[in-house]
């Protein structure tokens, strides 16, 4: 195995989603994507998938500032799902506010805090870590 099966992007910014997807393709990051525009949408779809245990994404790239349900709210709900530990969550935000960065550290499920913009290099690093697991 040299790439991730399913990567999930939760972000309301279509430019970022486009860019991230293209970068993942170019760096041969994963086989398929799941994209959600906000936390609520993601939660609604991920819950049944995870309960069924089929086609569960390996990693989630989670934005913080989103309408309807933001990244923090999503996390608070997501950790209630039993099998949430199977996934790796990366916060991907343009916020360099230390308040946000410190808050992310309080969640055990969060692997890392990535500051936008993401580059192919960043993706390669993530890939290495994930495949090493």
What residue ranges bind another protein (CB under 8 A)? 13, 15-16, 19-20, 22-23, 26, 65, 93-98, 116-120
Tell me the three-class secondary structure of 58-79, residue by residue.
CEEEECCCCCCCCHHHHHHHHC
Between 85 and 124, name the residue whose CB sits nearer to another protein: 124
> What span, in angstroms and rounded, lies between the C-alpha atoms of 2 and 127?
8
Between 89 and 118, name the residue whose CB sits nearer to another protein: 118
Question: At 30, which helix (H) or strand (E)?
Answer: strand 30-36
Q: CB of residue 76 vs another protein: minimum separation in angstroms?
A: 20
Q: CB of residue 64 vs another protein: minimum separation in angstroms?
A: 8
> What span, in angstroms and rounded, lies between the C-alpha atoms of 117 and 94?
7
Between 95 and 112, name the residue whose CB sits nearer to another protein: 95
Between 28 and 77, name the residue whose CB sits nearer to another protein: 28
Q: For the packed helices 71-78 and 39-52, what is the interaxial angle rounded to 10 degrees?
A: 20
Q: CB of residue 131 vs another protein: minimum separation in angstroms?
A: 22
Which whole-number Å values give the CA distances from 97 to 13, 52, 94, 100, 104, in the listed order?
19, 37, 9, 5, 11
Between 16 and 113, name the residue whose CB sits nearer to another protein: 16
Q: CB of residue 23 vs another protein: minimum separation in angstroms?
A: 7
Q: CB of residue 96 vs another protein: minimum separation in angstroms?
A: 5
> Phi and psi of 88, rounded to 5°?
-110, 130
């Amino acid at each position: 195995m040299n790439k991730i099966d399913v990567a999930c992007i939760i972000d309301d910014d279509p430019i970022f989603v486009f860019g991230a997807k293209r970068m993942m393709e170019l760096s041969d990051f994963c086989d398929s994507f799941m994209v959600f525009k906000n936390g609520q949408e993601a939660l609604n779809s991920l819950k049944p998938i995870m309960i069924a245990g089929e086609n569960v994404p390996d990693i989630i790239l989670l934005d913080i500032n989103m309408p309807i349900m933001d990244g923090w709210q999503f996390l608070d709900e997501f950790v209630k799902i039993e099998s949430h530990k199977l996934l790796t969550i990366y916060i991907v935000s343009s916020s360099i506010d230390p308040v946000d960065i410190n808050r992310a550290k309080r969640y055990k499920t969060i692997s890392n805090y990535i500051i936008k913009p993401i580059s192919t290099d960043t993706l390669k690093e993530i890939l290495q870590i994930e495949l090493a697991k």
